[in-house]
């Protein structure tokens, strides 16, 4: 009995140590934090059962494959729901206090714009790319998670890589540059300065808003600097009594709008390429702001 408890404790400690990475794997595949936590919790029970049959020595390796496989199953069913979603579906943002650490570039593994691009991939392509390109798993292990041959997942990852390359900024910006562009964006928007706001936006900027059918939001993406600027100034006028705070949205400087009682009414993610904003993702769906 003591030996069995000791084995269970060893397993629990190893899984707890692996949990942050496993949640990142699931979140990169699913784009929702709650579902990712559920997948990781469910895989703990599977790990216990697997260890009873045969001791699991590499808990991180086993957990990564199991979590990816489970997240892939969840994503396949979620795609059906997302197709019936009211308006555009955006990933659930992860909002944290700004990180004072000096970082040269933004972390691709958490970047919000990357999650938006991954939504364009098939579930199998997304999982293959996440496991191989983000988490450096060999194709043989990726194949075990996706349920394809190593050559097949190599092709899936290659197709996904082309989509990601085409849909993400050409140049990574450092944190200071991103923050400087954010400040210029915020000053122009708060001051109702249409010309100044257009100046900080890329001519081909895209704004996407996700209200989930629960609150007012644009049903289709807004395209072009002038249209996006006018849309944003309209949002500012409607929310004149809200407080705006600079936060980190998936590891990069972004904004959160707060009601008088402190609840979030919106999270804004800005994708910066060079010295201009190329994407504005506005999450106002209450279910994604908790």
What CATH number is attached to the domain comprising 69?
1.10.1740
Q: For every residue of 36-91, which 3-state class applies, written as one string?
A: HHHHHHHHHHHHHHHHHHCCCCCHHHHHHHHHHHHHHHHHHHHHHHHHCCCCCCCC
Q: How many residues does the chain have?
A: 290
DSSP label at residue 145? H
Query: Does any domain span residue 191?
Result: yes
Listed residues 65, 84, 103: the one ending a domain? 84
Report whether pLDDT(187) > 70: yes
- Say yes or no: 62 and 116 in one domain: no
- Say yes or no: 8 and 78 in one domain: yes
Query: Does any domain span residue 41?
Result: yes
The pTM of this model reads 0.88
Q: What is the pLDDT confidence band of residue 100, given thresholds at 50, 70 and 90?
A: low
- Say yes or no: 39 and 126 in one domain: no
Our count of domains for the chain comes to 3
Q: Which residues pair with 283 in a beta bridge?
A: 210, 267
Containing domain of residue 54, as a range? 1-84
**Which H or E run includes 164?**
helix 150-167
Q: What percent of the chain stands above pLDDT 70? A: 94
Using CB atoms within 10 Å of the CB of residue 267, give its burial: 0 to 12 exposed, 13 to 18 middle, 19+ buried: buried
Query: Does any domain span residue 190?
Result: yes
Whether 194 and 174 have beta carbons less than 8 Å apart is answered as no
**Which H or E run includes 243?**
strand 243-249
Interatomic CA distance for residues 227 and 122, integer angstroms: 31
Query: Does any domain span residue 220?
Result: yes
Mean per-residue pLDDT for 150-177? 90
Query: Does any domain span residue 125?
Result: yes
Query: Does any domain span residue 236?
Result: yes
Interatomic CA distance for residues 248 and 258, integer angstroms: 15
Mean per-residue pLDDT for 21-26? 95
Residue showing tokens 């691009």? 117
Q: Maximum CA pair distance of the chain?
A: 73
- Say yes or no: 146 and 76 in one domain: no
CATH code, domain carrying 153: 1.10.10.10
What pLDDT score was predicted for residue 99?
Answer: 62
- Angle 33-53/59-83 helices, nearest 10 degrees? 140
- Say yes or no: 143 and 208 in one domain: no
Q: What is the pLDDT confidence band of residue 44, given thresholds at 50, 70 and 90?
A: very high
* Token duo for residue 134: 């983000």
- Say yes or no: 191 and 261 in one domain: yes
Q: What is the pLDDT confidence band of residue 108, given thresholds at 50, 70 and 90?
A: very low
CATH code, domain carrying 264: 3.10.450.50
Q: What is the pLDDT confidence band of residue 101, given thresholds at 50, 70 and 90?
A: low
Interatomic CA distance for residues 210 and 227, integer angstroms: 17
Mean pLDDT taken over the chain: 90
Report whether pLDDT(104) > 80: no
- Say yes or no: 6 and 47 in one domain: yes
Q: Which residues pair with 246 in a beta bridge?
A: 255
- Say yes or no: 200 and 272 in one domain: yes
What pLDDT score was predicted for residue 107?
Answer: 47
- Say yes or no: 61 and 162 in one domain: no
């Amino acid at each position: 009995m003591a030996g069995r408890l000791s084995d269970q404790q060893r397993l629990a400690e190893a899984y707890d140590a692996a949990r942050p990475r496993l949640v990142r794997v699931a979140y990169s595949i699913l784009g929702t934090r709650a579902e990712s936590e559920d997948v990781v919790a469910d895989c703990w029970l599977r790990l216990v059962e697997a260890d009873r049959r045969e001791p699991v020595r590499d808990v991180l390796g086993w957990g990564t494959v199991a979590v990816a496989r489970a997240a892939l199953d969840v994503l396949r069913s979620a795609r059906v729901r997302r197709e019936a979603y009211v308006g555009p579906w955006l990933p659930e943002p992860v909002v944290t206090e700004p990180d004072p650490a000096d970082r040269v570039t933004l972390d691709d593994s958490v970047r919000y714009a990357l999650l938006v691009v991954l939504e364009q991939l098939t579930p199998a392509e997304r999982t293959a790319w996440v496991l191989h390109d983000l988490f450096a798993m060999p194709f043989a292990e990726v194949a075990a998670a996706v349920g394809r041959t190593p050559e097949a997942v190599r092709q899936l990852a290659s197709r996904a890589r082309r989509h990601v390359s085409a849909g993400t900024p050409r140049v990574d910006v450092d944190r200071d540059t991103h923050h400087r562009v954010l400040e210029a964006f915020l000053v122009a928007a708060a001051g109702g300065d249409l010309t100044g706001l257009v100046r900080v936006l890329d001519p081909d900027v895209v704004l996407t808003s996700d209200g989930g059918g629960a609150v007012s939001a644009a049903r289709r993406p807004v395209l072009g600097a002038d249209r996006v600027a006018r849309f944003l100034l309209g949002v500012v006028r409607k929310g004149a009594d809200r407080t705006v705070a600079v936060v980190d949205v998936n590891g990069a400087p972004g904004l959160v709008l707060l009601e008088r009682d402190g609840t979030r009414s919106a999270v804004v993610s800005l994708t910066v390429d060079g010295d201009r904003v190329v994407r504005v993702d506005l999450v106002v769906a209450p279910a994604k702001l908790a």
